Amino acid sequence: MKHFALLPLIALLAAGCQRKSDDGPVAVSVIGGVPNLKDARTGLVDAPQAALFGAVAQGLVRFDAKAEIEPGLAIRWAISEDGLYYTFRLDADGPPAEKIATALRRRIAAQRRGPLAPAFDAIDEIVAVTPEVIEIRLTTPRADLMTILARPELALVFDGQGLGPLRMTETRGPSHALKLLPPAPPESEESDVEPDRRFVLLRGERAARGVARFQRGELRMLTGGTFADLIYPRLAGIAEPVLQVDPAIGLFGLRVTSDAPMLASIEVRQALSTALDRDAIGAALQAPGWRSTDAIFPSSALATTANAGPVQRPLLARAIAGIVRGRDGNDQIRPAADVIRSWRAANEDSAAAPLKVAMPAGPGGRILFNAITRQWARIGIRLEQVAPDTKADLTLVDEVAPSDEPEWFLARFLCSSGRPCSEMADQSYARALQAGDPVSRDAALAEAAERIAALHPFIPIAQPLRWSLVIANSPGFTPNARAIHPLPPLIGR
CATH number at residue 71: 3.90.76.10
Residue-wise pLDDT tens digits, 94-134:
999 999 999 999 999 988 878 888 889 889 999 999 999 99
Q: What percent of the chain has pLDDT over 90?
A: 63
Q: Residues 419, 284: one domain? A: yes
Q: Residues 285, 393: one domain? A: yes
Helix (H, G, I), strand (E, B) or coil at 254: strand
Parent domain of 138: 58-163
Spatial separation of the C-alpha atoms in residues 486 and 323, rounded to whole Å: 45
Q: Residues 346, 458: one domain? A: yes
Spatial separation of the C-alpha atoms in residues 279 and 284, rounded to whole Å: 9
Q: Is the pLDDT of residue 207 over 90?
A: yes
User: Which region, left, alpha or beta, applies to residue 437 given φ > 0 means left and ψ of -120 to 50 means alpha?
Assistant: beta
* DSSP structure class, residue 74: E
- Of residues 456 and 172, more confidence is placed in 456
What's the mean pLDDT when you consider all of the chain? 85
CATH number at residue 358: 3.10.105.10
User: Model confidence at 322, in pLDDT bands (50, 70, 90)?
Assistant: very low
Q: Residues 116, 227: one domain? A: no
Residue of 287, 462, 271 lying closest to 364 (CA atoms): 287
Q: Residues 44, 84: one domain? A: no
Q: Which residues pair with 268 in a beta bridge?
A: none
Q: Is the pLDDT of residue 366 over 80?
A: yes
Pairing outcome for strands 383-386 and 355-358: parallel
Q: Residues 299, 318: one domain? A: yes
Q: Residues 242, 256: one domain? A: no
Spatial separation of the C-alpha atoms in residues 324 and 281, rounded to whole Å: 20
Helix (H, G, I), strand (E, B) or coil at 392: coil
pLDDT value of position 196: 56
Q: Residues 227, 327: one domain? A: no
Q: Residues 307, 409: one domain? A: yes
Task: Annotate 110-153 with three-state secondary structure.
Answer: HHCCCCCHHHHCCEEEEEEEECCEEEEEECCCCCCHHHHHCCHH
The mean pLDDT value for 67-79 works out to 96
User: Model confidence at 174, in pLDDT bands (50, 70, 90)?
Assistant: low
Spatial separation of the C-alpha atoms in residues 461 and 302, rounded to whole Å: 19
Q: Residues 13, 132: one domain? A: no
Residue 42, Cβ neighbours under 10 Å: how many? 9
pLDDT value of position 161: 83
Check: CB of residue 378 under 8 Å from CB of residue 338. Answer: no
Q: Is the pLDDT of residue 414 over 80?
A: yes
- CA 333 to chain CA centroid, Å, is 31
Q: Residues 328, 367: one domain? A: yes
Residue-wise pLDDT tens digits, 373-390:
999 999 999 999 999 989
CATH number at residue 487: 3.40.190
Pairing outcome for strands 221-225 and 467-470: antiparallel
Q: Residues 305, 391: one domain? A: yes
* DSSP structure class, residue 166: S
Spatial separation of the C-alpha atoms in residues 178 and 169, rounded to whole Å: 7
Q: Is the pLDDT of residue 12 over 80?
A: no
How many domains does the chain fold into? 3
Q: Is the pLDDT of residue 79 over 60?
A: yes
